[in-house]
């Protein structure tokens, strides 16, 4: 895959408006969302779906899990910040959450 | 499951001697180990095995993943630090890594 461009300020604002459950990281280079489930099994089932999305989109999250909680951070290292790939993956994650 | 005791200083030293690839966190209350794989698919396959161990032992890691890297932190909140549960899970993780 070729290089992907960082979103412009306007593009970022438009994307965030469509992702109300995601927070822009302080440095503006990533978005994060926290998830809470009933237990580890539910959290893990969700993570499996996200992993499949990530592989299908060839774009991977930075994420952590503590029992029933999952935190996902999306950024595009090749772009040095947020790109359309992050927005696409965030929307797909929202659709399964 | 009932409460589990924090390891004594002597028990902790003995456990760490058997877990050379794990690092004691600065506060002494947790151990961590970093793993690096060929790619996300390999990292994810490993995480699946750890998740199964965690469920089987009813003791869950605090962990994060970025593409081919996985970091696992083990601590026992009920004990306020390291317990035999962490040592057991760490050894099981070592066996599959």
Q: Is residue A3 part of a domain?
A: no
Q: Is residue A1 part of a domain?
A: no
Range of the domain at B20: 9-96
**Which of B34, B41, B44, B89 is the best substitution to test chain A (most A C-beta atoms within 10 A)?**
B44
Q: Is residue A19 part of a domain?
A: yes
Sheet hosting strand A23-24, strand order edge to edge: A23-24, A31-36, A69-74, A62-66, B62-66, B69-74, B31-36, B23-24
3-state secondary structure of A82: coil
Q: Is residue B63 part of a domain?
A: yes
Put simply, whether B65 touches A (Cβ < 8 Å) is: yes
Residue from A92, A44, A94 nearest A69 by CA: A44
Q: Is residue B3 part of a domain?
A: no
A60–B66 CB contact, under 8 Å: yes
The complex's ipTM works out to 0.94
What is the least distance, in Å, from the CA of A22 to any CA of chain B?
19
* pLDDT of A26: 95
pTM: 0.95
What is the least distance, in Å, from the CA of A19 to any CA of chain B?
22
Q: For the domain that residue B23 is a member of, what is the CATH number?
A: 3.30.1360.20
- Render pLDDT for B42-67 as a digit per residue (tens, 0 to 9): 999 999 999 999 999 999 999 999 99
Q: Is residue A4 part of a domain?
A: no
How far, in Å, CA of A70 to CA of A65, rounded?
Answer: 4
Q: What is the pLDDT along chain B (97 residues), one digit of tens a residue?
A: 557 999 999 999 999 999 999 999 999 999 999 999 999 999 999 999 999 999 999 999 999 999 999 999 999 999 999 999 999 999 999 999 9
- Render pLDDT for A4-45 as a digit per residue (tens, 0 to 9): 999 999 999 999 999 999 999 999 999 999 999 999 999 999
Residue from A2, A5, A17 nearest A82 by CA: A5
* pLDDT of A95: 97
Q: Is residue B2 part of a domain?
A: no
The percent of residues in chain B predicted with pLDDT above 90, rounded, is: 96
Residues of B with CB below 8 A from A67's CB? 60
Q: Is residue A68 part of a domain?
A: yes
What is the count of structural domains for chain A? 1
């Amino acid at each position: 895959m070729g290089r992907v461009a960082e979103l412009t300020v306007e593009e970022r604002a438009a994307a965030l408006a469509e992702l109300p459950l995601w927070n822009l990281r302080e440095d503006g280079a990533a978005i994060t969302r926290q998830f809470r489930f009933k237990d580890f099994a539910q959290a893990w089932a969700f993570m499996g779906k996200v992993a499949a999305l990530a592989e299908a989109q060839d774009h991977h999250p930075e994420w952590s899990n503590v029992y029933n909680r999952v935190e996902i951070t999306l950024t595009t290292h090749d772009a040095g910040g947020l790109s359309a790939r992050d927005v696409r993956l965030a929307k797909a994650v929202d659709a399964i959450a």
